[in-house]
Chain A
Amino acid sequence: GNSVTQMEGPVTLSEEAFLTINCTYTATGYPSLFWYVQYPGEGLQLLLKATKADDKGSNKGFEATYRKETTSFHLEKGSVQVSDSAVYFCALSDQSDSWGKFQFGAGTQVVVTP
């Protein structure tokens, strides 16, 4: 079945540092890939997505590229802010398996200090 593996957190960074959160996946078909962000006490917000190989999703300074050859979708941001402190979830959805049900990774907590 499908699965998503994320790097464990917490990831602690200083403001303006470079952020990378690794995400790899296994899928039976050709999934779409997503990054969601969850701020404390809130629901999940879609951060970015990519629907096919080599697509790059980007939003709010975050980027991730769909790499089919390495089955990865790593999230990056060049200069983080304290307001980026949150939990980040990588997810996939594959309509060839389980009607397109979302499979979430375990989440990676990011803490940015001033």
Chain B
Amino acid sequence: DAMVIQNPRYQVTQFGKPVTLSCSQTLNHNVMYWYQQKSSQAPKLLFHYYDKDFNNEADTPDNFQSRRPNTSFCFLDIRSPGLGDAAMYLCATSRGLETSAIYEQYFGPGTRLTVT
């Protein structure tokens, strides 16, 4: 089945120690997104890639970076995690971004990040 895969499902890191979360997709979608979701809240968009074009949300901290080496993979790097960065991180994909159509987003299962 075509899908969005996130690894690992659970990640524990230490305060200030860089961590990378990964996402891969077999849907061959052009757009990949990273969301942060804290307990009992809506997902908050951090950034997205449309092919290789990177788009950062205005309020995404500089501490968060992303890489997309190819269509299938996208990484979220947190350079110096703080306690406030503990959250569920969701990767999503969509077919495209067009003025004539809106495409639903497909989500991975998420990575729960704990910062100690």
Contact = CB atoms under 8 A, between A and B. Distances in A.
Interface of A: 31-32, 34, 36, 41-46, 49, 51, 89, 93-95, 99-102, 104-107, 109
B104 A95 contact: no
Nearest to B6: A43
A43 B42 contact: no
Chain B contact residues: helix, strand, loop or mixed: loop
B110 A43 contact: yes
Contacts of B108: 43
Contacts of A42: 109-110
Given A51-B102, A95-B98, A95-B99, A44 B45 contact: no
- In the complex, which of the residues A32, A43, A93, A100 has the most CB atoms of chain B within 10 Å of its own CB atom? A43
Contacts of B43: 44, 89, 104
A107 B90 CA distance: 16
A42 B109 CA distance: 5
14 contacts: A43-B107, A44-B90, A44-B92, A46-B105, A93-B102, A95-B100, A95-B101, A100-B102, A105-B42, A106-B41, A106-B42, A107-B41, A107-B42, A109-B40
Contacts of B102: 31-32, 51, 93-95, 100
Interface string B40-84: 111101000000000000000000000000000000000000000
Given A43-B110, A89-B42, A107-B40, A102 B97 contact: no
